[in-house]
Every structure is written in structure tokens, then in C-alpha cells.
Chain A
Amino acid sequence: MSSSNSTHDSHQPHITPMWVYFGVLGALLILTVVTVAVAQVDLGPLNLPVAMAVATVKAGLVALIFMHLVFDHKFYIYLLLASLVFLAVFVIFCLFDLTRRHEIRHEVAAPIHAEAEWYKELRIQAAGLDHGEDHGDSHGDLHGAKTNAHSEKHAPVQTPAAPQH
């Protein structure tokens, strides 16, 4: 008990003024509308980054004000950022591998992300299905198709190598 309490001896919890909370609530609601509005516009590949940016602003408001991060010891912000850094490392390294593996070793990695086998049968059924028709009775065949697919699960797949540890 020596590092944390060094700065202030008479500890008073920080009481956030009421208007700040109402302001944040308003901002969050407006930003929710913005998210929806932006998503209606087709920005192509930009849709994802834009949506993430708006969500991050909202998340930042919640974390900084509602969760008191601005008023607290800085350590908590670092803690939160650290977890996000580790998460980013995880996602980015995985993405690095998956996207590049797909290009470089197309012939080896090809089966991955191909349409699942049992799926194709389902699609054939869907193609034969009239839109207006009630498709309740087609469920029976469907289940049959699925069981077949299950037994064919061991279709040739790339065998992963065994672990090292």
C-alpha cells in the first residue's frame, strides 16, 4: 500500500456534475443516429472503418466519462489500452497469416473458405424452391441432406501438422 495513495491523502470520490452525464447521454444517442445514417450510404470498403470510428467515439465517451477513466488514476487507461494492444496483436497477426496464406499458397490453402460441401446441396434445393410456395414440407428432405453431409465430413482436407510443445 505505498504507490497508489501517495498523491492525495484525504480521498474524496470524484462526483461528476449532472450535466456531464446528460451531455454524454445526448451525444451517445446522436452518435447512434449517425451510425445508422452513415451505414445507409454505400461507401464500399470504407463502410467498415467509418462504422468502427463512430463506434470507437461512442465507446470512448462511455469509457472516459461513465467509467470515470478521465477522473481516475492514469493507470486504468493504460490498463485498458494494454488489453486493446494485445487484442490488436492477436487479430492483426491472424489476419496477416490468413490473408497472405490465401494468396501465396493458393493450391494448398484452397479448400479453406470454399463453400461447405453440405451447403451446395442446400443451395440446389433453394434453387428449386418457388418463392411464393410454402416451404414447410421441404424440411424433411433438408434434414436428410444434412445428415448425408455430416457423414461426408471427412472429405479431403488439409491435415494440419502436430504441435510442437
Chain B
Amino acid sequence: MSATTHDSHGHPRLAHHFFEMEQQHECAKLGMWLFLLTEILFFGGLFCFYFIWRIMDPELFVGASEMLNWKLGGLNTIVLIFSSFTVAMAIRSIQQNKRNACAIYLAITIACAFVFLVVKYFEYSAKIGHGTLPGTSFHDLHFLAEHPEVKNPHIFFSIYFCMTGLHGFHVICGIVYIAWLLYLTLKNRFDSEYYAPIEMGGLYWHLVDLIWIYLFPLLYLI
């Protein structure tokens, strides 16, 4: 057990209650994975909502998903996938002590997140303009006239707004966190021994991407 000795007590970022950097890093990673687990189950409730109505009333989804612009959704998918790639590259860079490269990749990630939000903003405002709102505020009469076979279309848009809204909230949180990481990277706080916060940010950002990978086909395409 290497843990009995204190010889690795050198790194300035080692908290007092850990024996060594590796233990600290492993703790952070496991903690982050447990957090991701809670996120999966958190979104899981919404996926449950989706699948139940999808299976009980498929026509609703086929009809209503036509209202969403799959081109914008697809663009956002590509943007998020690319940002997932850059954040992975950021971790790879800091593992090799390349701080500048890491900072650049983090900056690109943030930029992608902003692009995502801007596209989302245009989508939302179009929906709001048409009255395609969730729940009882739904009053898109054109949709109703064109799709008499769809019953309760507001439920589809409830699902759409709940899922993308919660996802968008996670994107915003991700921007804040990654911006903070970028700041710390520029202040030379990270190195190949201590980069657990960047790795945690990466895991979080990949999860945001993962959820969108499912949301895109489920909401926009089918």
C-alpha cells in the first residue's frame, strides 16, 4: 500500500485529507461519475414521459415533430459533437502539460456552446412567435388546422420545451464551469499531475452531448 507513506505529499494542490495525488484524482473522478449517474436518472424522468406518450400515441409525435426544424437541430448536433471533441482534446493537452493548447481547446468548446445557444434562441423565438408553446399556453391554430388527427399536440411541445430547456440549462452551467476552467488554465493552475477539474468538466460536457445525441432524433426526426 503506497498510501502509508507520505512521500508524495509534494504537490501544492493536494488537499490535506488525501494521501497522494492519485487518490485525490480518483475521488474526483468517481464523484463526477456518480453525479453523472444522478443526471442520467434526472433526465430519465423526462425520457419516461417521452416514451410513454410516444408509445401510447405515436401519431402525436409523427405529426408534431414536423414542426421542428431538423436542419437547425442537426446543426446543433454537429456543433455539440465538435465541442465534445475539443474538450477531449483539452484534457489530452493538459495531460501532456501543453497549457496553451488546452486553453485554446477550452475556448473553442465555449464558443461552440454559445453557437448552440444562439441556434436554440432562434428556434425558441420562432416557436414562441407561432404560439407553439408548452401546456395550456399552446395556441398555434395553424398547426391545429393542418393536423386534425393529432390530439393534445401541446404535450409534444411540453416534452420538447422541458427536455431542451433542461438541456439548455445544463449547457449554460457547462459554459460557466468551462469558462472558470479556462481562467484557471490561463493562470497556470493545472499540470499533468493535477487536472482533475478539467477532466470532470470534460465528463460533464460529454454527458450534455450524450443527452443531445438522443434528443435530436427523438424530437426532431421521428
Contact = CB atoms under 8 A, between A and B. Distances in A.
A contacts B: CB pair < 8 Å = yes
Interface of A: 1-2, 4-5, 9, 11, 13, 15-16, 18, 21, 24-25, 28-29, 32, 35-36, 39, 45, 47-48, 51-52, 54-55, 58-59, 62-63, 65-67, 76, 79-80, 82-84, 86-87, 90-91, 94-95, 98-99, 102, 113-116, 118-119, 122-123, 125-127, 129, 131, 135, 138-139, 142, 146, 149-150
Contacts of B1: 1-2
A55 B217 contact: yes
Contacts of B87: 66
Interface of B: 1-3, 19, 22-23, 26, 33-34, 36-37, 40-41, 44-45, 47-48, 51-52, 54-58, 70, 74, 77-78, 81-82, 84-85, 87-89, 92, 95-96, 131, 136-139, 141-142, 144-145, 148, 151-152, 154, 192, 202-203, 206, 209-210, 213-214, 216-218, 221-222
B200 to A, nearest CB: 11
Contacts of A18: 92
B52 A62 contact: no
B40 A135 contact: no
Nearest to B85: A25
Nearest to A4: B26
Given A48-B54, A54-B217, A79 B74 contact: no
B206 A67 contact: yes
Contact of B92 (A21, A29, A119, A123): A21
Given A15-B96, A28-B81, A126-B145, A142 B74 contact: no
A83 B41 contact: yes
Contacts, number: 171
Nearest to A91: B48
Given A21-B92, A36-B74, A54-B217, A83 B141 contact: no
A21 B209 CA distance: 15
A-B pairs, top 3 by smallest CB distance, nearest first, are A126-B144, A39-B221, A51-B217
Nearest to B144: A126
Contacts of A35: 216-217, 221
Contacts of A122: 138-139, 141, 144
B136 A66 contact: no
Contacts of B77: 32
Contact of B141 (A66, A102, A135): A135
Contacts of B206: 62-63, 66-67
Given A36-B74, A126-B144, A139-B139, A21 B88 contact: yes
